[in-house]
Structure 1
């Protein structure tokens, strides 16, 4: 069988690219080494981010933040796309965008938030700075005494268990095919495109999208390309259900934390705490305890909350936190859809753009700054 487009990876990036390409009339196949949504796309905490992450800002500085800030227009456009995605796909994705609050743990960190917000605002991202009084008035669920915070009104959450499967369902209805349990072992140039060996089968495609997440560097090497993708084992926890308390996505500047409350009442606690590797990623109880203690430090209402489930997964990262997107110059027809850390947020708009590029169309957003 010959396809217009072969997509390697069955996470959000791969399934969304397949959906948009199939909608454009392309003959598409998604090749997944295990099953759909088992990697970072289905194992993250479901945060919809737009603010520059504080931890790398603290360590890498303002020059890094200005360079990184080129991704913010992608977040803004993707969140606009997210807002209509449930209607477009015809299903519930658990999407809510009531805002995100980054709480400053000290006066010095509050000043850093001011510096960071100026960089964010220069890229068109709306940020409201709250002082101690504003924080106490608007966020009474927080522990008292923090000097302030930065509020981004477009941030929120979605359900990572639902997004990629629904993209895939609609892609298959539009004619896309799926090959499960088929690890890719070779990608070779072929007359008219590429020959991919996956699960012992040969698949020919005019063009290829590498959306393999933490395995993307391995796939890229098959066509002689080095991609600066790093794999990180991190973990997330969810608590028992509680009455509504936290309306927003919550961050903390002093340590890594993302905290939000699902519509069903459980709190999702994340932020990139490390898991252990034992054959694959497994939960590290030390990270679980520290992550929970941090959440309880910010929100006293969680003092006696019980964790009901924790899980670990591999996510991809790059040294400068920037994505690697678009056609590889030295391998025409081979495209990268690799968005580290914040790929759940950016996935819809970036995948739509990659599908357009791969089919010779002009995308709605500019991916040129993120070329390999």
Structure 2
């Protein structure tokens, strides 16, 4: 049997691409080297981002931010899909979009937020700049004295344990073939498509989508393609349950932080703090302590909170933070669905576009600026 599409990678990008391709009537096989949702898609903090992250903005500058801002319409489009996904997929994804607040740690950082907001607004993203008085009025849970912040009303959170599995379930109902524990060891062009080797099985597919996340560079090398993607070991912590306190996704400009409160009451503390590598990613207690101290600096109500679980995962990144999307020019029929750092947010819209592109249709978002 020849498949229309072979998709490599069982995270959000792979399962969502499979879902949209199966909905279009394609014969699709999904190849996952371990099991679905065991990588970054199921191990991230569940943040739904739209703002340009402050840490690279500070380090890489305004010109970088203007170039990077081309991804913001993808976030906007994808968050629009997120708002309808629970109904479309028929399940709970834990999606809530009450907004995201980036708190400025100093007057200089507030000035930088104003510059960044102008770049974001030019791409159609709504950003409300708040003064220190606005913070006191709207965010009384914060430590006082910060000069202001930037509020984006479409940001929020979703449950990373639920998203890819639900995409997978609906894709299988629509005809998807799944191979678990099936690491791809070779991809060879052949007449009419590709021969994809996994174990003792050779799968024939007209087109291939590389959605392998942190392993995507190794997969791309199988067809002679170099992809500037790298793996980073980072970690997340969750606290004991507390009464409702924090309605938004919270960031801080002075240090890396994402903080939000789940519906059941636990606080998720992340932001890209490094884990250690010991054969695989393992939690670094130093990052746990510094990340928690930072959350407590912003939100005094967390002063005596207990962490109940921390975990580490590999996430993919590119040097310029931009995604690598679409058909590889020198290997027709081979597609990349690689979205660094913010792929959880962008996954639905980008994967729908990749599925359309790989089936010879015109996607509803322009991926050309992100071609390899």
TM interval, shorter chain, is over 0.9
Aligned to 2:81: 81
Aligned to 1:46: 46
TM-score with structure 1 setting the length: 1.00
Confirm or deny: 8 A CA contact 1:325 1:336 kept in the other structure: yes
Q: Distance in 2 between matches of 1:177 and 1:93?
A: 23
Q: Which runs of 4+ in 1 moved over 6 A?
A: none
Query: 1:296, CA displacement in angstroms?
Result: 0.3
Q: Distance in 2 between matches of 1:41 and 1:100?
A: 20
Q: Distance in 1 between matches of 2:60 and 2:209?
A: 31
Query: 1:334, CA displacement in angstroms?
Result: 0.2
Q: Distance in 2 between matches of 1:145 and 1:201?
A: 62
Unaligned runs of 5+ residues in structure 1 are none
Aligned length: 372
Unaligned runs of 5+ residues in structure 2 are none
Q: SS where residue 234 of structure 1 aligns? A: strand
Cα deviation digits, residues 283-302 of structure 1 (max 9, x gap): 00000000000000000000
Write the mapping of 1:204-353 to structure 2, written as runs, cut at 5 A.
Answer: 204-353=204-353
Cα deviation digits, residues 232-256 of structure 1 (max 9, x gap): 0000000000000000000000000
Query: 1:190, CA displacement in angstroms?
Result: 1.1
Query: 1:200, CA displacement in angstroms?
Result: 2.5
TM-score with structure 2 setting the length: 1.00
Cα deviation digits, residues 70-129 of structure 1 (max 9, x gap): 000000000000000000000000000000000000000000000000000000000000
Q: SS where residue 169 of structure 1 aligns? A: helix
RMSD: 0.4
Q: Distance in 1 between matches of 2:279 and 2:231?
A: 14
Q: SS where residue 142 of structure 1 aligns? A: coil
Aligned to 2:8: 8
Q: Distance in 1 between matches of 2:143 and 2:321?
A: 31
Query: 1:258, CA displacement in angstroms?
Result: 0.1
Q: Distance in 1 between matches of 2:291 and 2:25?
A: 46
Q: Distance in 1 between matches of 2:242 and 2:71?
A: 35
Q: SS where residue 149 of structure 1 aligns? A: strand
